[in-house]
Structure 1
């Protein structure tokens, strides 16, 4: 009899966040689950790793499930590294990260701890998917996202994700009945127009809160932003090879002997 798929579950919102609890519940129907996730929120950490301080892992019980769960003091990328090197007795068949509270579409993938955990798994040669819901509310409804996450992971396990590719999946914040389907997309060209809200402590010391407005500069109908705005689930294949291959020929024309 073949073994059940071994599924590593992680996130960046913390091990108790409703999004990861929904994802764990969905993944338990597909295989054997191991959870390694941060002990506190790590949103916006990107691909940070811990190198100047110690890391701690604690076996925890959050729900009344039989899956092993570990709370990690480090970043999402740390969680994946520790899971692979210290906890799991074989390489997982897939790593799933999320379900994130808030979108990780377009340029947000650069800053995302959710997607960095998935990318770290990809670097390790593990098929990986990051899941995000376009709702930042802690008490958001994850029912539709949970349903489609199970469907997408089942398909990925059956078909295989292309080598050196990680999937970035975003769910629109609408009821399941209003989701029109799933679209394979490219990342929209967009950015944040950022400002810092400057304030002062009662002692007169300045401090800052980062704020900003998300601006989509892309009118294409093949982008993740278009899909989400039109109630489709977006899947963007991303890679950790950051080489701009199309520019190599241009740069080779530079004469560095001038």
Structure 2
């Protein structure tokens, strides 16, 4: 008989792939509507220690580069990191993790870079994590209000305390101490979410993915026809450097992928195709 946890893992991974398909199809359709047929690269990768995933990269005239990665990995943590992961000591280092990660870098400097990831992890404990955040090159008050009002509405359907709690966690997390500045305009970020109701936590995680797509499509369509200059493009490339610095120095997802011997190309898919440092 299939264990309850096995059913949960299956449901979660099926959702991550469903969301991947929704996002990919929406982005490709947007490219066709406003530009031309984009280039889509797909790759399946296997992890020697157990599991693997699928990576999709989209290159176009609207999306300069979008990376979408779905993974399901399992095995055992090394002794050097076992104390860093909740419940790993009690599980003798054994773990299972599934998730989806999306990072989009846009051609237009007037459309923000976007990031969304959600995940489910099992050791001797179990929890959901993830979030949504946006990194504009130029601040836009209407975008800020729309993003945060939509996120609050989505969170309030599950718990009236979620939005303000997860917003603060996002602001604290996406901060570059060495620059003393935020990476962007925030969003929501949650980790170690286990309310005691697995299905409620799962439905919230699904809502996070759906809300990301709703918000991002709205923001893109709002700015897609606005003209931009080479000076704005130069500013965009420089600001992207902050994105790279955060992902290499502080991002937990990058670190988790590396310490679990994940696919390095999939882990680094979040990097922009072009960037400058001055």
TM-score by length of 2: 0.25
* Bigger radius of gyration: 1
